[in-house]
Amino acid sequence: MLARRDPYQLPGPTAPRRRPPRRDGRPSVGALTSPDISTPRPEDPVAATGPLHPLTNRERNQQLRTYDSHVKGGFDKIVDVLKRISALQHEQGFEQKAQALALDALGFPLPEHILARAWVTQLDMRSLFAWCVFETYKRTSAAFFTSNPLGGQEDTAFDAFIRECGFHLLDVSPCADGRLAHAISYALRLPFSSVRRRPYAGAMFDVERTVARWIKTEHRRHREGVPNQAHEDTRYLKVVIYHFSSLDPGHQGCAAHGSNDAQAARSGLNRLHDFRQAVENSFCCGASVTLLLLGLDTDTDAIRIHVPTADGATNPDHWLDAREVYGQTVAMAPEAAREVIGERVRQDTGGSIEEGMVRFISQLLENNISQIDFVRQFHNGAYGDAGHAERFIGVGIGFKEIHLRNLTYFAHMETVEEGATDLDVGIRIFKGLNISRGLPVPVVIRYDFHSSVPGSRERAVRSCERIAAAVHGRYRTLSRQGLLHTLLTVRDGDHYKPPEVLGSSLQSPVVEVH
């Protein structure tokens, strides 16, 4: 006998996506354990109203806002449309009416085989929801590669800029938390194609894999002179972005570090040191890397920069706060503001800093000023979704096209064993976001491959299938209840084109691992 799938209907209007009430900008009473200079206060230098900063790129802010609203709007209207369709299911001509409504409101038709079964039992809303999330993801992904909503795929001016600053590769590990998914393109305003991004829970990146990437990078410099000649005096720059919440530090910080931002910063710095030591121990004198530790306030998107000294020392307990820099320069002309920013960076280490690093950090601060204004312009100074509000989990390696805050929780992994902890955190987050509302957890599995490497695509396909089976096996109960669905995708990293969809758990029963 088939297990009866309750509830055939989506939750009522009493279960909205979690949106904490708008805060007044003051820290929660008793939430602070230590003084925190980034905590907004009544005399906050960055008020939610007032003119924008002279260095803010207004046009770019508007473009980024339009893209963010368009994509998230596509995901967020799914529940309402499905509720309207659910209400029609016993009417004459249901399938035609449902398709017309879906096409009109969502822009795509629904799978006929699910609609056709509605008269026998009832409409399978869980499958329909997962199907709509996957369809919206596919369309978002395809549009990213075909219409370049965040700008072109290459930015040679930026590549030249980082080389002038003394770096030949920018490798960034933010936390996998969806509130940092926009860190590169929004918070730091860096061209995504010029940055290697590898998110990990707690920003605890894999040292061995990063060393392997470093070797590959240096090897290419020797063999091909790409991105520059090996004899040029530039370094591999490894950046960690941890995060914290200025408005609710005890609850909305990094889950992987127990919402303790001092611990998040120290752990990030330790991991950076491990990486540098691994390179130096393995490749002798002269072989080294540059390290940079950043913190991101997930309420305001303002960054903290732990400015390193010329000899590579970083203090996890001291930082330069972009909000302070904003407040100090908001009334200046653009050129004067730039000068002051550069001077602040130099002073932060008592003058012991390489000039290339001053230029790079100053640019990060200037870019972040635009993002601080973005949050002021469109989110009243602090995001309404202070906590998790991701729309799907992304598992695997890739997702070059995901650059929006709270769209995706990343679980970066090659095997489920190595990524189990990250994935468990993701499932726990979605128990609160979706399962509590009777909705399934949508998991997009993705493996990138290189068509220039023989057999690479086949290996990526096998990885996808293996991970899908392992995910359904690990969360078997959810899977059997129709509360977990997977979409399998691969993408050719040698070409700038959308991922290829291999299939999903909605099409055929997924083989369980026993």
CA distances (Å), origin 66, targets 48, 59, 62, 76, 77: 20, 11, 6, 15, 16
Of the pair 177, 206, the CB lying nearest Zn ion is at 177
Q: What is the DSSP letter of 198?
A: -
Nearest to 409 by CA among 183, 235, 249, 176: 176
Q: Which long-range contacts (CB under 8 A, 24 or more apart) does 363-368 make?
A: 363/161, 364/188, 364/294, 364/303, 364/305, 365/303, 365/305, 365/320, 365/322, 365/325, 365/341, 366/55, 366/338, 366/341, 367/188, 367/189, 367/190, 368/187, 368/188, 368/189, 368/301, 368/302, 368/303, 368/322
Give the C-alpha separation, 505 to 390, whole Å. Answer: 20
Of the pair 175, 439, the CB lying nearest Zn ion is at 175
Radius of gyration of the chain (CA): 24
Give the C-alpha separation, 309 to 346, whole Å. Answer: 9
Of the pair 149, 202, the CB lying nearest Zn ion is at 202
CA distances (Å), origin 513, targets 415, 421, 509, 510: 14, 19, 12, 9
Of the pair 101, 255, the CB lying nearest Zn ion is at 255
Query: What dihedral angle (degrees, nearest 10) is formed by the CA atoms of 224, 225, 227, 233?
Result: 150
Residue 429 touches Zn ion, criterion: CB under 5 A: no
Minimum Å distance from CB 298 to Zn ion? 9
Minimum Å distance from CB 404 to Zn ion? 17
Of the pair 89, 252, the CB lying nearest Zn ion is at 252
Residue 85 touches Zn ion, criterion: CB under 5 A: no
Catalytic residue among 124, 159, 177, 301: 177
Residues 6+ apart with CB under 8 A from 187: 180, 296, 301, 303, 368, 371
Stretch that binds Zn ion, among 163-171, 254-262, 314-322, 494-502 (CB under 5 A): 254-262
Please identify which residue in the block is written with the tokens 């969809």: 501
Minimum Å distance from CB 441 to Zn ion? 19
Q: Find the helix packing angle between 125-147 and 58-76, rounded to 10°.
A: 150
Minimum Å distance from CB 180 to Zn ion? 7
Residue 254 touches Zn ion, criterion: CB under 5 A: yes
Stretch that binds Zn ion, among 48-56, 108-116, 247-255, 295-303 (CB under 5 A): 247-255
**Catalytic site includes residue 448:** no
Stretch that binds Zn ion, among 39-47, 122-130, 174-182, 411-419 (CB under 5 A): 174-182
Instruction: State which of positions 486-505 bind Zn ion (CB under 5 A).
Output: none
Give the C-alpha separation, 343 to 153, whole Å. Answer: 33
Minimum Å distance from CB 350 to Zn ion? 31
Nearest to 398 by CA among 141, 72, 149, 139: 141
Instruction: State which of positions 255-284 bind Zn ion (CB under 5 A).
Output: 256
Of the pair 296, 439, the CB lying nearest Zn ion is at 296
Residue 175 touches Zn ion, criterion: CB under 5 A: yes
Token digits for 360?
């790079």
Minimum Å distance from CB 243 to Zn ion? 5
Of the pair 168, 179, the CB lying nearest Zn ion is at 179
Q: Which of 68, 124, 135, 177 binds Zn ion (CB under 5 A)?
A: 177
Minimum Å distance from CB 269 to Zn ion? 15
CA distances (Å), origin 91, targets 78, 87, 95, 105, 197: 21, 9, 9, 19, 50
Q: How many residues bind Zn ion (CB under 5 A)?
A: 4
Minimum Å distance from CB 322 to Zn ion? 19
Give the C-alpha separation, 75 to 362, whole Å. Answer: 36
Of the pair 204, 305, the CB lying nearest Zn ion is at 204
Point out the residues that are catalytic: 177
Q: Which residues bind Zn ion (CB under 5 A)?
A: 175, 177, 254, 256
